[in-house]
Amino acid sequence: MELQNLKHFIKLWALLAALLVSAGGQAALTIEITQGVQGALPIAVAPFKWEGKTAEPPVKIGGVIAADLHRSGRFTPLPVADMLSRPNESSRINFGDWRILGQEHLVVGTLRELGAGYEVRFKLYDVFRATQLTGYSIRTSGKRLRLTAHQISDIIYETILGEPGAFATRIAYVTEIRDSAGVRNYSLQVADSDGFNAKPILNSRHPLMSPSWSPDGARLAYVSFETGRPAIYIQEVVSGKRVLISHYPGLNSAPAWSPDGERLALVLSKGGNPDIYILDLDSRKLKRITRSFAIDTEPVWSPDGSAIVFTSDRGGRPQLYRISIRDGKVQRLTFEGRYNARASWSPDGKYIAMVNGDRGKYRIAVLELASGAMRVLTDTELDESPSFAPNGSMIIYATEIGQKGVLSAVSVDGRVHQRLMLQEGAAREPAWSPYMQ
Partner 1 sequence: MKALSKLLVTVVPLALVFGCATTDKTAGGDEDMAGAGAETEIVTPPPSVTEDTMGAEAIAAPGQDGGFMGDPLDDPDSLLSKRVIYFDFDRSEIKDEFRDIIEAHGQYLAENPGVRVVLEGHTDERGTREYNMGLGERRAKSVRRYMSVQGASFSQMDVVSYGEERPIAMGHDEDAWAENRRVEIVYPGR
Write down the least CB distance from residue 213 to partner 1, Å. 16
Report the C-alpha gap between 134 and 160 in whole angstroms: 10
Site for partner 1 in 72-91 (CB under 8 A): none
**What one-letter code names the amino acid at 390?**
P
Q: Which residues fall within 8 angstroms of residue 8, CB to CB, at 6 or more apart?
A: none
Q: Which is nearer to partner 1, 65 or 221 (CB)?
A: 221
Q: Closest Cα to residue 252, out of 232, 227, 222, 224? A: 232
Count of residues in the chain: 437
Q: Where are the beta strands (DSSP E) in 141-262?
A: 170-178, 184-192, 199-204, 208-213, 219-224, 231-236, 242-246, 252-257
Q: Which is nearer to partner 1, 295 or 420 (CB)?
A: 295
Given 98, 118, 362, 388, the residue binding partner 1 (CB under 8 A):
362
Helix ranges (H only) for 32-144 are: 61-71, 95-100
Size of the site for partner 1 (CB under 8 A): 59
Give the x-and-dash track for 309-348 against partner 1 (CB under 8 A).
Answer: --x-x---xx--------------------x-xx------
Q: Which is nearer to partner 1, 76 or 312 (CB)?
A: 312
Q: Which is nearer to partner 1, 18 or 244 (CB)?
A: 244
Write down the least CB distance from residue 155 to partner 1, Å. 35
Site for partner 1 in 200-239 (CB under 8 A): 200-207, 209-210, 225-230, 233, 235
Site for partner 1 in 147-206 (CB under 8 A): 200-206
Q: Does 51 contact partner 1 by CB under 8 A? A: no
Q: Which is nearer to partner 1, 31 or 208 (CB)?
A: 208
Given 134, 175, 197, 253, the residue binding partner 1 (CB under 8 A):
253
Given 45, 295, 323, 431, the residue binding partner 1 (CB under 8 A):
295
Site for partner 1 in 262-281 (CB under 8 A): 267, 269, 273-274, 279
- Concatenating the DSSP letter of every residue in 239-301 gives T--EEEEE--SS-EEEEEE-TTSSEEEEEE-TTSS-EEEEEETTT--EEE----SS-EEEEEE
Write down the least CB distance from residue 406 to partner 1, Å. 13
**What one-letter code names the amino acid at 68?**
D
> What distances in angstroms separate CA 130 from CA 42, 99, 126, one per listed residue?
15, 10, 6
Given 44, 83, 145, 245, the residue binding partner 1 (CB under 8 A):
245
Write down the least CB distance from residue 323 to partner 1, Å. 17
Q: Closest Cα to residue 106, out of 56, 147, 59, 160? A: 160
Write down the least CB distance from residue 226 to partner 1, Å. 5
**What one-letter code names the amino acid at 336?**
E
Q: Which residues fall within 8 angstroms of residue 7, CB to CB, at 6 or more apart?
A: none
Give the x-and-dash track for 99-118 against partner 1 (CB under 8 A).
Answer: --------------------
Site for partner 1 in 397-416 (CB under 8 A): 400, 403
Sheet containing strand 208-213, strands side by side: 208-213, 219-224, 231-236, 242-246
Given 1, 249, 329, 424, the residue binding partner 1 (CB under 8 A):
249
Q: Closest Cα to residue 27, out of 61, 64, 62? A: 64
Write down the least CB distance from residue 252 to partner 1, Å. 9
Query: What is the distance between the terminal CA atoms of the chain, rounded to a whole angstrom?
Result: 18
Given 46, 166, 251, 353, the residue binding partner 1 (CB under 8 A):
251
β-strand partners of 430: none
Q: Closest Cα to residue 286, out of 271, 303, 297, 300? A: 271
Q: Does 246 contact partner 1 by CB under 8 A? A: yes
Q: Which is nearer to partner 1, 131 or 403 (CB)?
A: 403
Write down the least CB distance from residue 434 to partner 1, Å. 21
- Residues 5-13: contacts with CB under 8 Å, at least 24 apart: 5/155, 6/136, 9/138, 9/151, 11/437, 12/151, 12/168, 12/436, 12/437, 13/144
Q: Which is nearer to partner 1, 58 or 249 (CB)?
A: 249
Q: Which residues fall within 8 angstroms of residue 25, CB to CB, at 6 or more apart?
A: 196, 197, 198, 199
Q: Which is nearer to partner 1, 8 or 291 (CB)?
A: 291
Residues making contact with partner 1 (CB under 8 A): 200-207, 209-210, 225-230, 233, 235, 240-251, 253-254, 267, 269, 273-274, 279, 284, 286, 295, 297-298, 311, 313, 317-318, 339, 341-342, 355, 357, 360, 362, 382, 384-385, 400, 403, 429
